[in-house]
Amino acid sequence: MEAAVFILSLVDCCALIFLSVYFIITLSDLECDYINARACCSKLNKWVIPEMIGQCLSTMLMLISMHWFIFLLNLPVAAWDIYRYVKVPMGNMGVFDPTEIHNRGQLKSHMKEAMIKLGYHLLCFFIYLYSMILALIND
Amino acid sequence: MDEFSGSVREDETERPRREIHLPSGNRDEEEGASWSTTEGQSQTTDERETERQSVAGGACCPVGHLSFPFSQPPGGPGPAQLSPSLAAMSLQSSTPEALRVVNLLQERNLLPPTPIPAPTPCLPQDLQKINCHPEVFRSTLTSIPQTQSLLNKAKMPLGLLLHPFKDLSQLPVVTSSTIVRCRSCRTYINPFVSFLDQRRWKCNLCYRVNDVPEEFMYNPVSRSYGEPHKRPEVQNATIEFIAPSEYMLRPPQPAVYLFVLDVSHNAVETGYLNVFCESLLENINALRGDSRTKVGFITFDSTIHFYNLQEGLSQPQMLIVSDIEDIFLPTPDSLLVNLNECKELVQDLLKSLPSLFEKTMETQSALGSALQAAFKLLSPTGGRMSVFQTQLPNLGVGALQSREDPNQRASAKDIQHLSPATDFYKKLALDCSGQQVAVDLFLLSAQYCDLASLGCISRYSAGSVYYYPSYHHQHNPAQVERFQKDLKRYLTRKIGFEAVMRIRCTKGLSIHTFHGNFFVRSTDLLSLPNVNPDAGFAVQMSIEENLDDMQVVSFQAALLYTSSKGERRIRVHTLCLPVVNSLSDVFSGADVQAITGLLACMAVDRSVTASLSDARDAMTNAAIDSLTSYRQSVLTIQQPGLLAPACLRLFPLFILALLKQKAFRTGTSTRLDERVFAMCQLKYQPLAYAMLMIHPALYRVDDLTDEGALNINERTIPQPRVLQLSVEKLGREGAFLMDAGTVMYLWIGRNCHPNFLTQVLGVPSYAAVPDNLYMLPELDTAESQRTRAFVGWLRDQKPFFPSLHVIRDESQLKANFMQNMIEDRTASALSYYEFLLHLQQQISK
């Protein structure tokens, strides 16, 4: 049972890692001018909700299986994702808005956010891996 | 500098006055040497700007590019390496006046009597002579700080304000087979490059050494060889190139104009349709374009009406599409027709249009669907869409709700609903921008129309917004006159199609925020489907790397556009500014008007993203921080009082003016649409007109004399002094004219001299001044001529038409006039003196 939870979280975490990398690649494409703002933002906006769902799934799993430390580790990021999604002003075309992305250094801040998430997910990946192996051994 | 002081209406004709054709001469083309740029490589629409560069050979000849007062070493460097003594000398000469300490609490008459000129950057005389004119390109700090930390210490924003497509009376136009550009950063050659020897030039933005192409060595103006630094491209900071075919993504588009008209009951009530049709009929031959010009019309209420104007029809045919959820074009062509071929049909349509809808009872308005239909019609070619709307769109896609709460108009706290309610108009504007369609919005309504959402359609498609609140053909004749004159300017002014603009800076500086009506397609490429001469732009910069071994930095704005005659042109403006490394030098070069303009743009952004009170606090803090920094770091002797350098003495006054501006004021009842429109104008207007909006000019006009008058076109135009905006200056015995940009008020004092009343206004006494007087009668007296000449001169300097209102104490508009008296105390705002005390208190904390 424990192992199953961790295997699931591991898979989820992998998906989140791939998603972070995709965000970083798309944003750096925009920076280097390989795609235009509209294409970039529509690509990224498509994956905002799946990312949120993935993160919340991981958090819920940890809550249900009562691993409090890892739950508390996941909670801030899930809360941030939800906050970011809810706080989009009505006139904007999603979290990534093509008219605003080149203003006020938003491109840089999105890039930084994606990098931080990547580092965080990698950390979580190793934690889940370790816990999964522990759980498998103890079974 | 006189070449730029011509009246705005004096358009540069399509055939420029100084056209220089440069023959191709000896041309060896290097095989395969086409350099495609790194810019604009986005997949959908990109401008692949390539250049074929010929090989340069031959011996070097040590020719210095600019003549300096001191001798230059052979093979000499250009302005990039000024001798230190020269730099010190030029800075010293301007330091005393700009840094003169002013105690704002004691000196009351700070406003100069004439309009404030832009500060001159302290560059050597010969560089400054050819520098770009400040009306076109202006920086908030005319001495650029060397490091970001120095800029942070100065606490002033660093940015540029441009007016790149301004109507210029003299513009050198160059037709050349090669346009010389830097190989790495693609900067156009400009007066501030340095020629290392005769055959090589060093870019002033990226410092790369480039070769001078063979044909550039020949100078057709002086018919000499071997003096590339005398060519017009290197002698003029503002220049226009005729672009060869490498600069075109597709064949240059024709001028296409589509008019989308609201014909609901409300619209017909206001009577704007008559004025529009008359105006277009009058100006139909003056529409900019050539033989390929196309026009089309769409009218809409709850259904969309198209007009088949095919040549050969006896009269225009109206096609009605009522399926507004899924709009389609009823016929594939002949909705947009060639103007020259179908002119009679178009004129017939315009004559019959007002009467067609006279009896309409439709109250609904399907603007969203009309815009979609118009976009479908224009997307194959691109062009300009002019939308006339008189009510809130309430049907179909893009329908809007009335969000304004009239009780919140005078709210002392935050104002809600400053941002769009829906992203429909933004999305549509981006679609339009992608197809090179610009949407101009004319809003003529008395009710709330949610300009915050509707304005998006123009903002991101490089269009412009015009607002005529409470427009009515009978009740509001002043607005009617303004609409007529504005329409005339709108239909006949110069226009550029499918344009892009790029602003480049010297290595080390980078642009991080843009203000204005355009879409930022990539890091510094602005997509402008239409460029018009009345649009201003602003950008904010930061210093990424220290500008350590540079004496000067340069900025270049290049605007690539298709003229209305189908010619692809590039207008290039280059500005050069010195770099300084001491805080007092940074302060001495501060341009208070440019700083105010940029702060206004930043405050509009802050109001929309955060809140209005945040923006107000930020503006006050800007004044506090910069004066604190001055006091702590620059001032050697600490005196009591509120001390400011002479160049920033008007800064608190302008900040107070911004806080009392319609866009940012709280506590006074302001309609939401008017507030949002004021915000749009602060971002859109070029600096000169924005400053009039922020701080109107007040003149006394009942004692105009010819002393110091200007003589323009054989008319004598009196030049009265500019007065402070305080009721102290308003005397009961005088008449005063306030120029507030889009509107002018002529206030008559109660005991005004009867001479003025009879000679200028044509009325026998004060009581007989009519209430709604909006025109000065044309009387044959000297005073009337002088007054009318002065008012006409003020009006000529603007591209829009300011309406004039004559007001007395009992007039309804007196409140509007008094609200512009910035230095006075009101129920909800501080007086100027109280504001200064507040600043002083905050600074000494």
Q: Which residues of B touch A111 (CB under 8 A)?
A: none
Which pLDDT score, from 0 to 100, does residue B27 have?
30
For B744-775, the pLDDT digits (tens) are: 999 888 888 888 888 888 888 888 888 878 88
Which pLDDT score, from 0 to 100, does residue B68 have?
34
CB burial of residue B481 (10 Å; 0-12, 13-18, 19+): middle
Please check whether residue A34 touches B, CB under 8 A. Answer: yes
Which of B:392-421 have CB within 8 Å of A? 419-421
Which alpha helices (H) appear in B12-132, and where do they start and end? 84-98, 125-129
Please check whether residue B537 touches A, CB under 8 A. Answer: no
Q: Which two tokens stand for residue B740?
A: 């507030």
Q: How many whole angstroms separate alpha carbon B167 and alpha carbon B493?
A: 9
Question: Between B43, B520, B609, which is nearest A102 by CB?
Answer: B520
Chain B nearest C-alpha distance from A99 (Å): 6
Q: Higher confidence at residue A40 or residue B78?
A: A40
Q: Which residues of B touch A39 (CB under 8 A)?
A: 42-44
Please check whether residue A98 touches B, CB under 8 A. Answer: yes
Domain limits for position A103:
1-138
Chain A nearest C-alpha distance from B528 (Å): 13
CB B690 within 8 A of CB B597: yes
Mean pLDDT computed over every residue of chain B:
85
Shortest CA distance from A87: residue in chain B: B609
Q: Which two tokens stand for residue B756?
A: 């003025």
DSSP string for B455-519: THHHHTTT--EEE-TT--TTT-HHHHHHHHHHHHHHHHS--EEEEEEEEEE-TTEEEEEEESSSE
For B648-667, the pLDDT digits (tens) are: 999 999 999 999 999 999 88
For A74-116, the pLDDT digits (tens) are: 999 999 999 999 998 888 888 999 998 988 888 999 999 999 9
Contacts of B581 (CB under 8 A, 6+ apart): B145, B146, B147, B150
Q: Which residues of A touch B44 (CB under 8 A)?
A: 36, 38-39
DSSP string for B342-353: THHHHHHHHHHH
Q: What are phi and psi of B716, to 5 degrees?
A: -90, 125
Please check whether residue A66 touches B, CB under 8 A. Answer: no
Judge: A39–B43 Cβ closer than 8 Å, yes or no: yes
User: Domain tally for chain A?
Assistant: 1
Q: How many whole angstroms separate alpha carbon B717 and alpha carbon B711?
A: 6
For B576-627, the pLDDT digits (tens) are: 999 999 998 999 999 999 999 999 999 999 999 999 999 999 999 999 999 9
Q: How many whole angstroms separate alpha carbon A67 and alpha carbon B604?
A: 48
Judge: A38–B460 Cβ closer than 8 Å, yes or no: no
Question: Between A35, A93, A104, which is nearest B426 by CB?
Answer: A93
CB B45 within 8 A of CB B434: yes
Please check whether residue A3 touches B, CB under 8 A. Answer: no
Other C-beta atoms lying within 10 Å of the C-beta of residue A50: 12
Shortest CA distance from B453: residue in chain A: A91
For B446-487, the pLDDT digits (tens) are: 899 999 999 999 999 999 999 999 899 988 888 899 999 999
- The answer to whether residue A117 scores a pLDDT higher than 60 is yes
